[in-house]
């Protein structure tokens, strides 16, 4: 089945220690998103890629970076995690060009910062 895969599902890191979360998709969608979600609040968009074009939300901290080496993969790098960065991180994909298109979400990676 076509899907969005996130690894790992659970990640523990130490305060200040860089961490990378990964996302892959078999849907061949050209848009990929990273969201941060805390305590079943609404997901907060961090950034998205439209093909290779990177789009950063204005309030996304510089501590968060992203890479998309090809259509299928996208990475979220947190350079110096703080306690406030503990959250669920959701990857999503969609096709572009229409408001009709839904986003497809992965299962999420829950990040714990010690």
Partner 1 sequence: GNSVTQMEGPVTLSEEAFLTINCTYTATGYPSLFWYVQYPGEGLQLLLKATKADDKGSNKGFEATYRKETTSFHLEKGSVQVSDSAVYFCALNDYGQNFVFGPGTRLSVLP
What residues from 84 to 113 belong to the interface with partner 1 (CB under 8 A)? Answer: 90, 92, 94, 96-108, 110
Backbone angles phi, psi at 27, to 5 degrees: -90, -15
Decide if 22 contacts 107 (C-beta within 8 A). no
Q: How many residues bind partner 1 (CB under 8 A)?
A: 28
Query: What tokens does 61 get?
Result: 């901290």
Q: Is 28 in the site for partner 1 (CB under 8 A)?
A: no
Decide if 32 contacts 23 (C-beta within 8 A). yes
Binding site for partner 1 (CB under 8 A): 4, 6, 31, 40-43, 45, 48, 50, 55, 90, 92, 94, 96-108, 110
């Amino acid at each position: 089945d076509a899907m969005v895969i996130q690894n790992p599902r659970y990640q523990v890191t130490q305060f200040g220690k860089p961490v990378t979360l990964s996302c892959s998709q078999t849907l061949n969608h050209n848009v990929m998103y990273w969201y941060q979600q805390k305590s079943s609040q609404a997901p907060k968009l961090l950034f998205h890629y439209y093909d290779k074009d990177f789009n950063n939300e204005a309030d996304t901290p510089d501590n968060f970076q992203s890479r998309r080496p090809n259509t299928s993969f996208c990475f979220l790098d947190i350079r110096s995690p703080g306690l406030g960065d503990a959250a669920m991180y959701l990857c999503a994909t969609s096709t572009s060009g229409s408001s009709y298109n839904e986003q497809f979400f992965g299962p999420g990676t829950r990040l714990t910062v010690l």
